[in-house]
Copies of this chain bind each other. A is one copy, B any other.
């Protein structure tokens, strides 16, 4: 019984669905940040109400992974690919959740006068999205060099998070009216940092999948 081509086909399908899920998650984060910057309340509400497709995809991908393992009992890199898919699926679902968290903080933020023009937060979102896209690309192409680049990009995100924090602190110290909305911007910057963390997790999974080398828990 030749199950190998069938397995590869199913694996390709799984990868395509993961990419689709990554695209959905990214869109939702992008909308949440856009709604914040443009003070678009309708778009905030849209993000808050719109997590059904990504949640359905999360369940579908998980069940695809279980089926692939049960029916084909893959070995070596194929086995590691499916285990990576299980983990990546979890990471992408959390990114979807973070879009909700950003929208929730955004909703509170829009209830106040704007603290400042938002420059660094959209920049953080761009970096996080780039990391996420590269990490998924690295997964599909089994490209460990690209995965390594994702790990390196995390420092830029971290530096921006610190910068956002310091700047908002000065606003809060000068004017107590800015304390509440500034807190929400700080939380949003942490949520964006966590999207970078999820991209980092995915990149580490890719390196493990390709090389069976565990790069987690080492300085990078």
Contacts and interface: CB of A to CB of B under 8 A. Distances in A.
A115 B169 CA distance: 17
Contact of A58 (B58, B83, B169, B216): B216
A83 B66 contact: yes
A119 B67 CA distance: 48
Given A58-B216, A83-B66, A87-B90, A176 B183 contact: no
A83 B80 contact: no
Interface string A75-108: 1100110010011001000000000000000000
A46 to B, nearest CB: 18
Nearest to A75: B70
A69 B73 CA distance: 8
A216 B180 contact: no
Interface of A is mostly: helix
A173 B179 contact: yes
B59 A217 contact: yes
Contacts of A51: 217
Given A79-B69, A86-B87, A176 B172 contact: yes
Q: When A and B form their complex, which 6 residue pairs have the shortest distance between CB atoms, in order from nearest?
A: A55-B217, A73-B73, A59-B214, A173-B176, A172-B179, A70-B75
Interface of A: 51-52, 55-56, 58-59, 62-63, 65-66, 69-70, 73, 75-76, 79-80, 83, 86-87, 90, 169, 172-173, 176, 179-180, 183, 186-187, 190, 214, 216-217
Given A58-B217, A70-B75, 8 more contacts: A51-B217, A52-B217, A59-B217, A86-B87, A87-B90, A172-B172, A172-B176, A176-B176
